[in-house]
Structure 1
Amino acid sequence: MPLAVQEVANRYEIISLIGQGGMADVYKAKDIILNRIVAIKILREKLSHDAMTLVRFQREASAASRLSHPNVVDIYDVGESDGMHYIVMEFIRGRTLKQLIQQRGALSVSESIQIMTQLTSAIDHAHKHNIIHRDIKPQNVLVKDDGTVKITDFGIAIANDAVQLTLNNAVMGSAHYLAPETAQGKEPTAQVDIYSLGIVFYELLTGDVPFHGKTPTEIAVKHLRQPIPYVRDFNPAIPQAVENIILKATAKDPKDRYSSAYAMLEDLQNCMNWEMRNVERISFTTPNIAKVDVNDGHVEVEYSDEPIETEEKRKFPWFTWIIRTIVILIVCLILLLGLVAGHVIQVDGLLGYQTIPNVVNLSTSQAKKKLKAKNFTHITIKKVLSDSVDKGKVISCNYDAGQSVYHGNTIVLKVSKGPGYLVEDFTGQTLEEAEYTLDKEGVKLNIEVKYKNAADTNPGVILSQKKLKAGTRIDPNANETIQFVVSQNPTIVIPESLIGMDVNEAKESLNDQGIAVVLSGSGDTGVVVNVSPSVGSTYTQEGSDSVVTLYYQ
């Protein structure tokens, strides 16, 4: 429902409703004192008299206001006015991470790592301030247009020294991202946040959560009993080091998870390094759960040391299997003879056919030597970039090893040129910093620059990059083109329309264009009679010392 009043605390002018939660509504508003757009969360009137809800609302403000991190939504003000309890925070132009996933599906590995690095850094900061979020999910993460993410909604966050808000540690948080021990009503630790981060990482890479169910309890039980599916089964191109982060973060036993968010952050920052390319899949012992009961919203688990029988006993006597095996072997032999007679299967050396040797991971010279030993003389080399195969080694062959191929056929070998250059996200850096980085890395790029007025940004800052997106792997010598949109000081031509305009409207019009304004006249209002610099002249806003003066009477 829309708010009955249009102004809160004689300071915040309500513009529009932008979101609704379980206990509060969020509005876009204007801070008329600081002349900026903000978001204001207002506790619903019927809940303001409920002591527990009020404590949760106040706790959110207290928890978030103790944090100062680029990936945590900033809290500007907290208060109560005419019976309304409110929190004022920064207004984020963008969408939730959940909306981004619903619109695009699975994200690329590099973009997923970039998002998770920001989230994990924010949670590490919260943990170092003794704050456990307890409700980490894509719905509580805002994504700005420049790719920056901001975590919000500390409504059920707790400090390590805070009292519980619910009896018997009742389950709180979202079932799809809920740690197994939380479903059992155990005391929350930092490991519950780490588990939720692992589930979010899984969703970023696959486009969906690992478990579904008809009820939250059914989903929670799956988190208890079923192992997290492997993301590499969804996309084999995902590096094993990346999958290992998810497996470790979502281990059933909190002791097997990362000891801290900082430890997880370190792995996120290093998982794409060259030395991590050959790591093996990690595994943990899954508790053997014999029985699960649900009582009053709590999940009670009974563990067993005995293995659970998962395979059916054989239903046929041993001689039946022997007869079946003999019949299958006879059928296979007849089929094999038919394939050889029809030249579907070629015998090595017969009629000019040879078996392709295994040349993957060999050097180019070694691969050629093995192929020529098999009488293959038509060999073509195609060099390509590779993240996982050393430079000069064979990545693949156009025929599989062991395949019978006529010796006159052309054999095409793909040979690694090395990993190439991984294009980074230059937004937020200065143009000079980006050029220095590319030069230092020895990357030859054609840089196109477009300038754009930016009122709240220092000149020379890269606002966006096009043609080469972050995470793209390129040949550093390919002379590809990247385009940067770079901020510049706002420049306008002083419009003649200012003369005769209401002075406050004229000031607001110039402010909206990033122009600093000084008023000269008597009284609180009037019309503009003159402007300095004069009408028609070009004016550039250069820092706080530069102003346009409006003379009014």
Structure 2
Amino acid sequence: MDTTLQDPLIGHVLDGRYRVEARIAVGGMATVYRALDTRLDRVLALKVMHPSLATDASFVERFIREAKSAARLAHPNVVGVFDQGSDGGYVYLAMEYVEGCTLRDVLRERGALRPRAALEILEAVLAALGAAHLAGLVHRDVKPENVLIGDDGRVKVADFGLVRAVDQQTSVSTGSVMGTVSYLAPEQIEHGTADARADVYACGVVLYEMLTGAKPHPGGTPAQVLYQHLHEDVPPPSAAVPGLAAALDDLVARTAARDPERRPTDAVGLLAEVRAVRQSLTDEQLDAVPPAAAPDPAGAPVGSEDRTTVLPRRASAVPPDAGATHHTSVLPAPPRPADGSAGRPRAGSRGRRSAPAVVAAVLLLLGVGLGVWYVNSGQFTRTPGVLSMTEAEAKRAVEEAGLDWRIARDYSETVERGRVIATDPGRGERIRGNGTVTITVSRGPERVEVPDVTGVPLAEARARLKDAGLAPGMVTREFDADVERGSVVRTDPEEGTERRPGAAVALVVSKGERIEVPDVVGESEGAARQRLTEAGLKVEVAPERVFSEEEAGTVARQSPGEGAVAAEGDTVRLTVSKGPDTVEVPDVEGMAEDEARRSLEDAGFEVKVRRIFLTGTVFDQSVDGGERAPRGSTITIWVR
């Protein structure tokens, strides 16, 4: 039987907004569903905490706090967090839905990856982690399962924020968390602490696995793996894949060093190192096919058009094929004569046409020979590597190579101001001996200032944030008598704070003045409506009236009730009374006590007995027989 049919959330609408359509995955802490946001008509991923965890108030509090932090990471390589909420016993996160697969799926299907593909995926992961580390967040659970590869080629890191919330709930004593154990840094195991360097360590393990197709510390139990993390270095990947470049061994060794002091301090520093290593490798080293790679369905080796080589390529980051000038050129054949006499020279024309043909052939051969000589002669040189140099050092290196230079400037989150981000052509590419190299120098991180949107209506505030290059983030609402309902009270971060472009800014919006709802039960409908309207509230009257103890035409009940707190413009729903539900009182005078009691109770009344003697018959009743009284009211009978 399909277990999804037994999932009570399938088809359910959470919080009146998110319709759960299908279950995607089940983890130790939560279940992930594909859902439809019925309000915005978009597909998203809904991560719902397991009910056993949702009952822990402190866990839920940490979950919400970390979800808010994750929502601020508006980065193209981070799975976005849209919303957080709860519905009954369900606590959930609404997140970006990525159509595709995980890096674990790719490794399971393909085995080891070519170095070029592995480094490109790692760069995307580090870009995401770098944004988190700059924001003061540590992922703590970097592993192939949390690296998503979309069908559109984008690489995204998932589960930002959740890891900190579930950190104390995660056990390493069972096989169910074997995947997580494989990527834990030694200090996480030994001391239970983790900073940005723990994420760096996990990236080193993931890089080793992408290059070799296997984890560096195999073991049958979590305890064996933990022991190896503490006491054994991650082996060089070339030991498993002979022929890998030494620079890749060095990169893995630095990244996955057991001593955190020997690792790069955070993902930003590691990203710069990874880019430098990739620039230092030749095309042959980058495209080397590992023995563990599985052939693709067409039989070509992995990497010939590896689906994991997915990042958008800029000329400065991934140079075009340097060997393009060595490709065989196919010259177009001369057109056939219109009369179809190709190869049959006409009589008398042989002598006249043979000489020009011979001359043309000789010239063609000479042209081809000169072209080959020109391409392979000293007319071309190679672009020197100047990445991370200062502007002055880069100019000097280009001049020493006999080339001219041109300076361009761009922002960079990872390369400090004044140092080289990229060159065009890229390092090692062929260029004419008198050519010009464009050197792109870092301006440092691009930052924009959060504008002042206090007192501005929400829609306009969102527009101003977008105009400033920022992303409107999560919206919360609170009472504020000084700010008009629907306008912004404050932002987080506050106005004037500098943030990178695209960063999310949370908005707190006014619900208006706090109003205590007056009690209008028992008042006429008109009087109740007037009192509520004067208090600044709207009134809605239920279409159907109900029986109640209140007089007909007066308010039987209200929602919200007396003493509730509402905002100006909120709606109070009134239900009007039809009056008491009355029934005819049976005449029980002259009946025995037991018979009279049964008759009254069957009619819907409570019965109270007053006796003059211990037993006897009824000689009087509080409401005469044949009259009407409210159903459920008490009728007193006197017995003698």
Give the TM-score normalised by structure 2. 0.42
Give the structure with higher Rg (CA): 2
